[in-house]
Structure 1
Amino acid sequence: MAAPTFVYDGDCSFCTACAEFIGRRIPTSARLVPWQFADLDALGLTVEQCDKAVQWVGENTAAGPDAIALLLRDAGRMWRLAGTALQWRPVRLAAWPVYHWVAEHRHLLPGGTAACSLPQAQRELPGRTR
């Protein structure tokens, strides 16, 4: 089976910093890919899904904190415990509002930029006219 894929927003500096932290510190077998450079069709994802939340595509598919939980569970011993805790119903119920708050305020977090606050359709891209 192919390695799972963790898809994040490569236009967002905060998201990219988090993905770089994962790449350095969390021993996951997943490929970490900005969705802007991913083959979304092959992954079964849409721009809208990726604009809303990080995505995990593997044996299971998940978004947001559920995707983070699967990434942590994939990473081995210590991280598996954290991923399992994140999937525990009371924690999971709290994780989604926290995830949405972070996603909505990521432009204010360390590494965030103004582009992080805009939906993908409103971001300036080379060659795009409004």
Structure 2
Amino acid sequence: MTLSAAQKREITRQEYNANLAECPGHEVLATLSDKWVTLIVDALADGPLRHAELARIVAGASQKMLTQTLRKLERDGLVGRTVTASIPPRVDYELTPLGHSLLPIQRAIKTWAETHIEAVHHARDLYDTAEGQDPPRATPRP
């Protein structure tokens, strides 16, 4: 079947529209929305770090979660892993050029979260209070 130029453009547009369920961008968005990804990318902004150094900076991440997240970032081309032959072997992680291109976006999200946490907590309190009063549900939520 032959497609017109307009049909080809529409197919291409839909292939990478993250709002569409079949878009491969969904996988990337899932990775980027992970809080550990944001914190690790931010931690690696100033240069390579070893696993133990990352664990100290990214407080709350278990060794398993940190390792899984680093592997995911390495697989996606955002983090590079360098093994130096020594006893014990030295392993350093650093942002790749692709990872560095993500840094301003991830930092903006992190800064927004830090700046607006009180407003979010206030909104949650209001919501939870209203939920406890069992408000009418006639109007659908957006």
* TM-score between both structures, scaled by the size of structure 2: 0.24
Give the number of the structure whose alpha-carbon radius of gyration is greater: 2
Q: TM-score, normalised by structure 1?
A: 0.25
Q: Quick one: higher RCO (CA 8 Å, sep 6+), 1 or 2?
A: 1
